Structure 1
Amino acid sequence: MKIDELVAVSTSLGGEFKSIEPHLIRLEKHLILRTYLGGYSLSELDTKIWLALKSNRAAVSFIKKGSYINLTRWFTYIEQVHPEIQTEVKAADDARKAKIAAASKAGGSYNLALQDADKGVVCRFLPEPSGYLHIGHAKAALLSDFFGHQAYKGQLRLRLDDTNPSKEKEEYQDAIVEDLALMGIKPDTLTYTSDYFDHLYNTCLGLIKSGNAYADDTDVDTMREERGKGIASKRRERTVEENLAIFDQMKSGTEEGLKNCIRAKISVDNPNKAMRDPVIYRCNTKDPHHRTGTKWKIYPTYDLACPVVDSLEGVTHALRSTEYTDRNPQFQWFLDTLKLRQVHMWDFARMNFIRTFLSKRKLAKLVDTGRVWGWDDPRMPTIRGVRRRGMTIPALRDFILKQGPSRNVVVMDWTSFWAANKKEIDPVAPRHTAVSVKDAVKVTVIGEEAPAEAYTADKPKHPKNLAIGTKKVAFSQELILDQADVKSFKDGEEITLMQWGNAFVRDLPAESADPIPSVTCELNLKGDVRSTNKKVTWLSTQGQNLVKAELWEFDYLITKDKLEEEDELEKFLNPSTATMEEAFCDEGVGSLKKDDIIQLERRGYYRVDQGIDDEWQGKKGRVVLFSIPTGKANK
């Protein structure tokens, strides 16, 4: 064998007996009259293949039985003469346990007893490209990535479950791939269920021929009622020949074919309703598939495609949310009936948040009816939505992984979600200043210390993190303050102008003045800033070009903490979910770029959605800032 062939062998030792035996035979022949695989001393290739064999239970079984004399001799020799390899095995196992322990310490328990994990772990993420990924998908993807890549050094496969052309779009499939990349998830492979349409069609044919599936033209409402009551369909005892003929009609999309679906013949009255003859094939002649066009007029359902393709693709452990738990026996029925390779299941609780729904159908309705700006609207619970709201990817990953793979279903408040993000952004968010345009009060600065002319000085962007750099702050005799601050003043009161110093309030209008048009402040820079009760933000109208900004605040989309399946969405939609305030900001805000995150002093954190040169709702020349929740307010 050539070196490249040996390398190929080393990456292929992950299957069952039948799949690895050809590789063992090749190694057996190569090792005739050889002590090492290549050369006359232990090589990287020897180490790699020995470790691959050691971690494969099927391979170890062959070796212990002595089925291959030369391979057994080589394997034993390496183990005895090179004990350092055992150290490498232990180090890898210790590293895996350390990752699991660290993840468990950070939050949820990751100490799962995954079946047959010593044979290798291949996980998969299986989204349907019928919408953008939401935070529930993020949990499934990150957990599969953790177990597939980090905990067990295995694989993660991404498969887009594109079996319903009525809902799916290329736009959604591309967005899913992009969002996973943004979260730092790099699948080892990308496949589509549609890659297996021919195989799935033949699989369904086989089920019909073996008497394990039948064609049914029962209408949807009657079928639902019969399944609920455990009543057999009147079509359940159709002959194999009749079922095959109708399946062919379905494939051709004829009038007769369109009346029918194919159901697996599992049970009529099983207590688990998922086992009551589920539909496994449907007709769809109206919508072309975004990848296969009009080639197919029939499509497999998730219930059939999931176990078949999981087994075919070498998935060893399929993680999915507890809403699918009832389908686990059904999944196993298909594996057993079709005599497919075993795939182990693990269920975890999906993430639920108050006043939030994760139904892609309902989210799509909001988009289609213009209730939100799109799938990336900052009010949407999509990955792009929460990112546009200001959630950072490190905080998102950390928060979700801390939830762990527990099966306990809980409804969480958003406060903990955004509090995790605050810990990420607070140490690095530059500080800036904003004053409301509508409520700005003109302030005249007087006194011996008042500047004769406007000037600028360098000030830290972050008082506790000087590495963030400095910004220009303008000082002059003409300032603006927020109306709410000025209304709280008393004539003669000493206040602190943040980043400047103290001042006495002079010439405050009578209490009846509303709004207050102007006020005078006499500088007292020798005053003790610790002695004042009011520290206020301000902006100089001279010495800088003030920047116009839109400050956006967002609220929940719905008014009910938990939306039930039977609830009508329209009745619980919040009529007002977005408000905007125009503000003046310091000149430094004008240089901010999209996705920058800042803190406006005494207002909160904001993400830059549009820079000053970007167009926003037909306008330019202003910065658009989206308020980032901090965990204090339930928004």
Structure 2
Amino acid sequence: NSILHIGHAKAININFGYAKAHNGVCFLRYDDTNPEKEEERFFRSIKDMVEWLGYTPYKITHSSDYFNELYEFAVVLIKKGLAYVCHQTAEEVKGFDAPPSPYRERSVAINLALFEDMKNGMFAEGEATLRMNITLEEGKKDPVAYRVRYVPHPKQGSKWCIYPTYDFTHCLVDSLEDITHSMCTKEFQNRRSSYYWLCDSVDTYVPVQWEYGRLNMAYTVVSKRKIAKLIEEKIVEDWDDPRLFTLPALRRRGFPPEAVNDFCVRMGITGATIIVEPEMLEACVRDRLNLTAPRTMVVMDPIKVVLKNYTPVGSLDVPDFPSDPNSPTHKVAFRNIIYIDQDDFRESADKDYKRFAKNQPVGLRHAGVVITVQDVVLRSDGSIDCINVKAENVADARKPKGFIHWVSDPLDVEVRLYEKLFKHKNPEDQTQVPNGFLSDCNDNTLTVKRALADKYMKGSKPLTQYQFERVGFFAVDTDSTTDKLVFNRTVTLKEDNKKT
């Protein structure tokens, strides 16, 4: 009932994967038992993310589809003396050592009448609840089955003013839908006995509940409340901000769904909760994009270079995947003015430096050309205005130490570079972050650059993925327009692939 995150990706893979492995089916059910919390956009996003990961639900249902049946099950409980109407306040029943309800021994007839009054709007919110006669394994006594809420339901309208709780609803709707295996995370293990007790008590089919350990990601928060606070404080923009680990955020950042599924498979199924470094997920993303993302040249911090003695061919056919001899190609402009990255030029080269310098020529990738400095033109503030160079065909020049990327007749693009949102692995740990998770946010987690890209990229659709040669993997952001492309850095290149 909220935006899905990386932990939900594991749950989706376990549920749909188990069904597929046993030639079964998997339902997608929305828990819409709390009318105050349900948001239609969250439900749409859940379906979108399940399908983005490559799965198709056998059927999409809502818990509210069964409100009539659930009400009848509640009546059965009352008739068996296993549920009663209580008038204690939420504060009085809070915690595990709450005093027994003074209303526990009411007669069945009185409880049936009071429950009917609850249904007919005779009580204000908080004045009455329906509680079950059971002590949960965790020690909680007589959990609530129904409460009064005068809030229209997004799907049911104003038909109901009493709503069932998740604990009451979950197992019974599983039974109504003939679910064989109800899989949930480990924190629900101490509710397994109540799951079975409730189905048995109303004489309905009892599914099997299995638990597995949660998957948590370090350096992030995934709770709906905490992400909402980050948005409210304008630390992130929305639920799909690429600095988050919600599934919409990962998709927007350019993570392939296959890589997310690969990651879940690598994590396996464990009984214990595991906390994973983001780098493990990024490694899966890098492995996948290395096979699928076309290569292109983009200059992040441009320096103008003028080829003084050379007339280029006008355009070149450049392979999408240079290591593949059968790769498709794309055309890039090659004129006598090109742009290279500031990081690829130095005043002087030492023996370990392989790129461009006043005393060291360099090759241009894919162009078959070597350039040598003639002179460097400076602005009044001492920064480089342009570099005038001599150009030679690589066959006629001494073999250069290195080759650099470049662009010509380029396209202006915006590039967004993201860093970890939090300083500590667990920003919710009060021992490490005593002032709360908001105090743990890093500064400058987003850097926006004006970059120059090959013009053939114009018109790229949102979420299209590329490798910017020698820079990293990037994806077209949904903020892009026909006039302006915006790219998000998905992941860097391998850490050991340093420029020298």
1:626 has 2:467 as partner: no
Inter-CA distance 427–528: structure 2 relative to 1 (3 Å threshold): farther
Counterpart residue type for residue 337 of structure 1: S
1:556 has 2:415 as partner: no
The question of whether the paired residues in 1 share the 8 Å contact of 2:473 and 2:493 is answered with: no
Between Structure 1 and Structure 2, the one with more strand by share is: 2
The question of whether the paired residues in 1 share the 8 Å contact of 2:192 and 2:209 is answered with: yes
Counterpart of 2:62 (choices 192, 196, 201) is 192
Larger deviation: 486-495 or 574-583?
486-495
Aligned equivalent of 2:353: none
Counterpart of 1:475 (choices 318, 331, 334) is 334
Inter-CA distance 217–623: structure 2 relative to 1 (3 Å threshold): same
Counterpart of 1:442 (choices 284, 304, 318) is 304
Counterpart of 1:381 (choices 240, 245, 268) is 245
Counterpart residue type for residue 306 of structure 2: T
Counterpart residue type for residue 519 of structure 1: I
Aligned equivalent of 1:132: 3
Counterpart of 1:141 (choices 1, 9, 12) is 12
Counterpart residue type for residue 480 of structure 1: Y
1:455 is displaced (CA, Å) by 1.6
The question of whether the paired residues in 2 share the 8 Å contact of 1:160 and 1:173 is answered with: yes
Task: Write out per-residue CA displacement over residues 307-354 of structure 1, whole angstroms, 9 at most, x where no aligned residue.
Answer: 111112111111111121111122122123223222111111121000
1:557 is displaced (CA, Å) by 3.2
Counterpart residue type for residue 179 of structure 1: M
C-alpha distance in structure 2 between counterparts of 1:631 and 1:419, whole Å:
10
The question of whether the paired residues in 2 share the 8 Å contact of 1:417 and 1:631 is answered with: no
Counterpart of 1:205 (choices 75, 81, 85) is 75
Counterpart residue type for residue 143 of structure 2: P
1:382 is displaced (CA, Å) by 2.0
Aligned equivalent of 1:462: 321
Inter-CA distance 526–549: structure 2 relative to 1 (3 Å threshold): closer
Counterpart of 1:427 (choices 268, 284, 291) is 291
Aligned equivalent of 1:156: 26
C-alpha distance in structure 1 between counterparts of 2:279 and 2:235, whole Å:
24
Task: Write out per-residue CA displacement over residues 89-138 of structure 1, whole angstroms, 9 at most, x where no aligned residue.
Answer: xxxxxxxxxxxxxxxxxxxxxxxxxxxxxxxxxxxxxxx3xx22222222
Aligned equivalent of 1:112: none
1:220 has 2:220 as partner: no
For residues 488-503 of structure 1, the aligned pairs below 5 Å read 489=348, 490-500=357-367, 501-503=369-371
Q: Tell me, which stretches of 5 or more residues in structure 1 are unaligned? A: 1-127
The two structures, once aligned, show a CA RMSD in angstroms of 2.7
1:458 is displaced (CA, Å) by 1.6
C-alpha distance in structure 2 between counterparts of 1:154 and 1:631, whole Å:
40
Inter-CA distance 353–266: structure 2 relative to 1 (3 Å threshold): same
Task: Write out per-residue CA displacement over residues 176-215 of structure 1, whole angstroms, 9 at most, x where no aligned residue.
Answer: 2222222221222222211111111111122122221122
> What TM-score comes out, normalization by structure 2 length?
0.88
Aligned equivalent of 2:148: 283
Inter-CA distance 207–392: structure 2 relative to 1 (3 Å threshold): same
1:372 has 2:241 as partner: no
Inter-CA distance 564–465: structure 2 relative to 1 (3 Å threshold): same
Tell me the SS of whatever aligns to 1:385.
helix
1:172 has 2:42 as partner: yes
For residues 444-593 of structure 1, the aligned pairs below 5 Å read 444-447=306-309, 450-451=310-311, 455-487=314-346, 489=348, 490-500=357-367, 501-508=369-376, 514-526=382-394, 532-540=400-408, 544=409, 546-564=410-428, 568-593=436-461
Tell me the SS of whatever aligns to 2:195.
helix
C-alpha distance in structure 1 between counterparts of 2:178 and 2:263, whole Å:
30
The question of whether the paired residues in 2 share the 8 Å contact of 1:421 and 1:630 is answered with: no
User: Number of residues paired by the alignment?
Assistant: 482
Inter-CA distance 155–442: structure 2 relative to 1 (3 Å threshold): closer
Tell me the SS of whatever aligns to 2:91.
helix
Bigger radius of gyration among the two: 1
C-alpha distance in structure 1 between counterparts of 2:448 and 2:260, whole Å:
26
Counterpart residue type for residue 117 of structure 2: Q
C-alpha distance in structure 1 between counterparts of 2:411 and 2:493, whole Å:
28
C-alpha distance in structure 2 between counterparts of 1:526 and 1:632, whole Å:
29
C-alpha distance in structure 1 between counterparts of 2:73 and 2:238, whole Å:
39
Larger deviation: 326-335 or 237-246?
237-246
Tell me the SS of whatever aligns to 1:138.
helix
1:454 is displaced (CA, Å) by 5.9
The question of whether the paired residues in 2 share the 8 Å contact of 1:351 and 1:410 is answered with: yes
Task: Write out per-residue CA displacement over residues 607-626 of structure 1, whole angstroms, 9 at most, x where no aligned residue.
Answer: 11259xx53xxxx5221111
Counterpart residue type for residue 13 of structure 2: L
Inter-CA distance 623–346: structure 2 relative to 1 (3 Å threshold): same
For residues 292-441 of structure 1, the aligned pairs below 5 Å read 292-367=156-231, 370-436=234-300, 439-441=301-303
Tell me the SS of whatever aligns to 1:223.
coil
The question of whether the paired residues in 1 share the 8 Å contact of 2:125 and 2:149 is answered with: no
1:631 is displaced (CA, Å) by 7.7
C-alpha distance in structure 2 between counterparts of 1:588 and 1:274, whole Å:
64
1:264 has 2:129 as partner: no
Amino-acid identity (%): 31
Counterpart residue type for residue 162 of structure 1: D
The question of whether the paired residues in 2 share the 8 Å contact of 1:610 and 1:623 is answered with: no
Counterpart of 1:599 (choices 458, 461, 467) is 467
Tell me the SS of whatever aligns to 2:219.
coil
1:528 is displaced (CA, Å) by 9.2
Task: Write out per-residue CA displacement over residues 65-98 of structure 1, whole angstroms, 9 at most, x where no aligned residue.
Answer: xxxxxxxxxxxxxxxxxxxxxxxxxxxxxxxxxx
Counterpart residue type for residue 384 of structure 2: I
Tell me the SS of whatever aligns to 1:155.
coil
C-alpha distance in structure 2 between counterparts of 1:530 and 1:142, whole Å:
55
C-alpha distance in structure 1 between counterparts of 2:464 and 2:123, whole Å:
57
Between Structure 1 and Structure 2, the one with more helix by share is: 1
Counterpart residue type for residue 177 of structure 1: K
Inter-CA distance 311–519: structure 2 relative to 1 (3 Å threshold): same
